[in-house]
Structure 1
Amino acid sequence: MRQAPGSNRLDKNTDRLPYHDAARFFHRIPFLHIMETLRIYVDTSVIGGCFDREFQEWSEALTDHFRRGRYLAVVSDVVTKEIEGAPDFVKKRYQELLSIPAEIIDVSEEAVSLVGHYMARGILTQRFLNDAMHIALATIAKIDMLVGWNFKHIVRLDKIRLFNTVNMAQGYKPLTIYSPREVVHHDQE
């Protein structure tokens, strides 16, 4: 006997929840919400995006998630170095992000080696070394997700696939890469 959509009663023939209702049932069990906070690597474009009309809404919303403890912001020496050349208001926003608090990753020999593999594969050129370093640092640190607005070198399906091909060939897990809009939009659904 099938239950009407929206019903949380067990199917009498199987003693199981109907598949379409299982998610709603488990959503109501408080202990299932206990999980580690996602560590999200924030590339420099997200911080600057707080001041760009096209990206402001989503960059600010993501920053708000960090403030509320929904996610943990992760940055690196590379982000810090890139911010040094930014306007003062961007530097101030970066300092605010660090005070939330945020995790900071140092550049390592392992990351430099992984970047070398990206370059050897021709994914990016030396000119975009920092972009490759963001990917390598996030990969090595086992970050849950990297977010950015760099659609030319980072948040681009063909590049993501190439980076992850190298990552897996070198024994690392694939890195999930999204724009802040995808992360915040998904979270609001």
Structure 2
Amino acid sequence: MPRRIYIDTSVLGGCFDLEFALWSNGLMRDFRAGRLSPVLSDALATIARVDALVSWNFKHIVRLENIQLFNSVNVQSGYPELNIRSPREVTTYEGH
């Protein structure tokens, strides 16, 4: 079964940004090849117990103190911690 991954709009926009295009497009290739399965709602990401929430949004999401806050709310609400990563950490694209 492919890992279930939530992506936010920053990952989609990254497909058209030179700084992020290799990794975002690599992630899209992983989805098309069936290696990963997208989950389309951040609200569902916690409830669905996704394998990872993926974002390029380093200001609001992929930031240690914010990850700790998200996960403290999840744990207090009886949900597991979210594994929050950048596309670079999730895709099978090697970038060499």
TM-score by length of 2: 0.90
1:169 aligns with 2:44: no
Q: Which residue of the other structure, out of 60, 75, 89, is the alignment partner of 1:153?
A: 60
% identity of equivalent residues: 60
Equivalent residue for 2:38?
73
Structure 1 stretches lacking a partner, 5+ long: 1-35, 77-133
Question: After superposition, what is the alpha-carbon deviation per residue over 1:100-156, rounded to whole angstroms, capped at 9, x for unaligned?
Answer: xxxxxxxxxxxxxxxxxxxxxxxxxxxxxxxxxx2x431112111110111011111
The structure with the largest alpha-carbon Rg is: 1
Paired residue secondary structure (1:73): strand
- State the one-letter code of the partner of 1:47: L
Structure 2 stretches lacking a partner, 5+ long: none
Equivalent residue for 1:51?
16
1:37 aligns with 2:7: no
1:63 aligns with 2:45: no
Question: After superposition, what is the alpha-carbon deviation per residue over 1:48-71, rounded to whole angstroms, capped at 9, x for unaligned?
Answer: 110001110000000000111000
The structure with higher relative contact order (CA 8 Å, sep 6+) is: 2
TM-score by length of 1: 0.47
- State the one-letter code of the partner of 2:15: C
RMSD of aligned C-alpha atoms? Answer: 1.4
Query: Which structure has more strand as a fraction of its residues?
Result: 2
How many residue pairs end up in the alignment? 94
Paired residue secondary structure (1:166): helix
Equivalent residue for 2:50?
143
Segments of 4+ in structure 1 off by > 6 A?
Answer: none
